[in-house]
Structure 1
Amino acid sequence: MKKFNYYSQIFPLILFLLFSFSAAHITYSQNGWFKIEIDPTYNIKSCYFINPETGFAAGENGLIIKTTNGGNNWSKQSPEFNSTIYSIFFLNANTCYAAGDYYSFLKTTNSGVSWSDTSFGSMPMQAIWFTDANTGYLAGFAGKVMKTTNAGSTWVIQNSGSGTQFYHMHFVNSTTGYISGKYHTVIKTTNGGNNWIAIPPPVFSHYQTIFFINAATGYVAGALGKLFKTENGGINWTQQDPQTANWIESIYFINENTGFLVADYGDLSKTTNGGATWTKTTLNTTGDFMKIFFANSTTGYIMGLNGTMFKTTNGGNPIGIKPISSEVPAEYKLYQNYPNPFNPSTKIKFAIGTPLPPFGKGGIVTLKIFDVIGREISTLVNEQLLPGTYEVEWNATDYPSGVYYCVLRSGDFADTKKLVLLK
């Protein structure tokens, strides 16, 4: 009797369903970021991911949306709040906090099924951060900083020493935190907010975003492309060139050397040497970028106005699709990866034959990686390729040992190979 292989039988069906019913349209770019088309009326201000698959985004008109499959589909949440939400923060898989207009604090403890809303007045709270399950901070208009030690049941106003508008905050531990804001404002606490001191960079600007890697090393940026770095907790600042003169909205570092920033008009810059140099990429979008967030070292998201959403699954690195032969193959073919088993990288070769209708001179080719239950975890290729033989590398550093599937598709052609990652 022939042995029944469950995954070999069910996996093609899983892939068919994924390709047939995905709600988000995805287009890919050679710069390592692919665009996810969502509702263009969504003006997103903030996002937060607890893992590469699960995250929330929030924005204007009380918008809160959630994904559990890496942005392929989004479900709209229904908080009883219809004003702008500026900042969102995950504590764990179930508990999420948000800050918005009217000094508002929103909270869910059931992963977004229901939300509670507490309002403290008529001005916006634009930044939120929790250092543990009970201790959190809000910051916003008129220099307002508030602290809770009971998970948001009650809040105490702190003396920030400033009367300006705060935009963003970042805590590196339970006592040390930083806040940036309008009119050349950067403040710091080292005792859980009991005292705040001003530590502004030497050049005047509105500082929209702040990110600290540790208590000493951090970055602040904002209007007119102003970007500064400190390596001593804000005592001294060094100006850097982000390769953009547009308003910088968000910074994120995945380690001490590699970081990203996004600015208005679709500007994205990356550094791999701690900000000594930055390289700019302009992504194809009509909406301003508002937030960049990485769930791990390879999977990151950019979100913004007019339904703007981009994703990378390779750390924002240019896709190295290497043509290894220009001869027209007799057929489409996906070769077995090598090495296999592998750790942590493997090369995948594929052949593109005479294009199938309706693509004419070149077919739209996709090469994607799925896990054993059919979840898409990485897109290696999604573009028009001329006939020839190509090779691409997949780095699985951030994925656990196990069986994965590589799927090549173009027109009516599809083929699958099994990959084994052993760590």
Structure 2
Amino acid sequence: MKTSEFARLPIQSFHLTKFLLTILLFISLPVNAQWIAIGAGSSIGGDIMDIMGHNNVLYAGGTAYLFRSTDLGLTWEGHFELFAYAWSLAKQNNTLYCGLWNSSGGQTAGVYKSTHNGSDWVTTPLSEPINSLAASDSEVFASTTNGKIFLTTDEGQSWNLVTNGMYSELFLDGNNLYAAGTGLKLSTDNGTNWNLINSDVGFSVFAEDSLVFFGTQDGKIYRSGNYGQNWITVLNKPGAYVYSLFKYNNLVFAGTDSGLFISNDYGFSFEYKNENLGRTRVADIMYYNGDIYLANSNYAEVPVSVWKRPVSELTSVSENISTLQEKIELLQNFPNPFNKSTRIYFTVSESFISSGKGNFVTLKVFDINRNEVAELFEGEPSSSNKYLDFDASSLSSGVYFLRLTAVDRNNRVFADSKKMLLLK
């Protein structure tokens, strides 16, 4: 019989090796994994409502000041006058924006910007109390406390009023601008026109392509897989005001005034994940450099601070729930840009195909206004690798979106999109 090298160790060596392996296993496991306050003992405080990371600098917008840390939270310095209510932050490339809600100490409310990594800030022409900011590479939207929404396309040099009479929290995803307040509204034309997509009252929203989450003041989280056309309720905790929503890969985070909830299955089910936070209000959530950061905004059971935790500690939440993202993939069409026709590839894993009747896949093409122009595939997939040729000879030149949607028999939804450019 063949004997392994491990088996030929002397008895004393075997026991020593077993002991060392036990120690290594023990120290490799997360012991009492919990949220760590990185601002504890520093000057940070006064209701932290928004957080942001950029170029290895952390920003925490609070009631007292805009706090800035260049050592990842060990120490913080305050910007603006005391009680500026710096509750809104956004970044556009290397330009940072901060919205002040309050005028104090001779400093006016409004939108300020920095092009020097937050070391100094200058005013912009918008000098109204700011409630919310949302930015893309080319646009910045600002919502005011008196119900106005402004837009700048020149890095804050000028602002145009696009909406009036709608107090809201803003979220921008591509061409889709969401406004959460007395209902959730969606605009696809930079705030000129709005569609009411959910009539509940709430002030937190997160969107990623067609996937939308909406949190309400009575403890509900709604989930939509089709831009808010249909909704399901995925969390219902009466009394737990939902203040913040965030998604990172398959993880969805919900900050409430009773603590933090996390989903590991794209927001279909949530678990309470509040270690060391107490019943504090989680006002904002972000991912930065391998960690999840939280901001809390009341003094209920723990001090106001910024908290962090490695995202690797959180991926074990509900690991038994399978993820469709591992089973479906949409690849970029080729060629792209294309003239008249292009080939589209997508893969479906064998496990998805063989897991039972009821799994369903659609592949569609939409124009820039989200109008469906072609349906390339609909039904139950029969082979793991597919390609389709798309004939666009009847379409005009322009940008189109290719969208793959997969629904399994448990009604879990995965969707992915690719941008295509038709040039004739």
TM interval, shorter chain, is: 0.5 to 0.7
8 A contact 1:86–1:100 mirrored in 2? yes
Note closer, same or farther for the CA distance 1:308–1:286 as it changes in structure 2 (3 Å cut): farther
Q: Relative to structure 1, is the Cα distance of residues 120 and 109 closer, same or farther in structure 2, using a 3 angstrom cutoff?
A: closer
Q: Deviations over 1:43-88 (max 9, x none)?
A: 211011136x422111113x11122332222232x33574212210
Corresponding residue SS for 2:133: strand
Greater relative contact order structure (CA < 8 Å, 6+ sep): 1
1:49 maps to 53
Partner residue in 2 for 1:369 = none
Distance (whole Å) between structure 2 residues aligned to residue 68 and residue 115 of structure 1: 16
> Is 1:270–1:278's contact at 8 Å kept on the other side of the alignment?
yes
State the alpha-carbon separation in 2 of the partners of residues 42 and 29 from structure 1: 31
1:309–1:152 CA distance, 2 compared to 1 (3 A): same
Structure 1 range deviating more: 228-237 or 276-285: 276-285
Q: Determine the C-alpha separation between the residues in 2 that align with 1:232 and 1:209.
A: 18
1:291-370 correspondence to structure 2 within 5 Å: 291-296=284-289, 298-305=290-297, 306-317=303-314
Which residue matches 2:66?
A: 64
Instruction: Please state how far the C-alpha of 1:95 moved relative to its aligned partner.
Output: 2.1
1:156 counterpart = 2:154: no
Q: Residues 79-118 of structure 1: matches in 2 within 5 Å? A: 79=80, 82-92=83-93, 94-101=94-101, 104-118=110-124
Taking the aligned partners of 1:41 and 1:299, their CA distance within structure 2 comes to 21
After TM superposition, list the pairs within 5 Å mapping 1:388-399 onto structure 2: none
Q: Which runs of 5+ in 2 are unaligned?
A: 1-29, 103-108, 298-302, 318-424
Q: How does 1:275-294 map to 2 (within 5 A)?
A: 275-282=267-274, 283-285=276-278, 287-294=280-287
* Equivalent-residue separation in structure 2 for 1:69 and 1:319 (angstroms): 29
Which residue of structure 2 lines up, in the alignment, with residue 200 of structure 1? Answer: 198
Shift, 1:155, TM fit = 0.7
- The aligned counterpart of 2:344 is none
Question: Which residue of the partner structure matches residue 336 of structure 2?
Answer: none
Given residue 176 of structure 1, which amino acid in structure 2 is its aligned partner?
Answer: N
Cα offset, 1:42, TM superposition:
3.2
Seq. identity, %? 20
RMSD, aligned α-carbons: 2.7
Give distance in 1, aligned partners of 2:72 and 2:236.
Answer: 28
For 1:111-150, what aligned pairs fall within 5 Å after superposition?
111-118=117-124, 120=126, 124-132=129-137, 134-150=138-154
SS at match of 1:143: coil
TM-score relative to the length of structure 1: 0.59
Q: Which has the larger radius of gyration?
A: 2
1:269 to 253, 261, 265: 261
Aligned residues: 274
SS at match of 2:80: coil
Q: Secondary structure at the match of 2:218?
A: helix
Cα deviations by residue, 1:160-215 (Å, 9 ceiling, x for unpaired): 6xx3421x222111x2221111x3x21111123332222224xx32x12110021x
Residues 90 and 96, structure 2, Cα contact 8 Å, conserved in 1: yes
The corresponding residue for 1:73 is: 75
Deviations 1:373-399 (A, max 9, x none): xxxxxxxxxxxxxxxxxxxxxxxxxxx
Which residue does the alignment assign to 2:328?
A: none
Q: Where does residue 186 of structure 2 map in the other structure?
A: 188
The one-letter amino acid paired with 1:88 is L
Aligned mates of 2:203, 2:167 — CA distance in 1: 10
- For residues 227-246 of structure 1, what are the structure 2 equivalents within 5 Å? 227-241=221-235, 245-246=239-240
- 8 Å CA contact 1:81–1:117 kept in 2: the answer is no
SS at match of 1:113: coil
Please report the TM-score for the alignment, with normalisation by the length of structure 2: 0.59
* Separation (CA, whole Å) in 1 of partners of 2:36 and 2:162: 42
The 2-side partners of 1:193 and 1:164 are apart by 11
Indicate if the aligned counterparts of 2:125 and 2:159 stay in contact, CA closer than 8 A: no
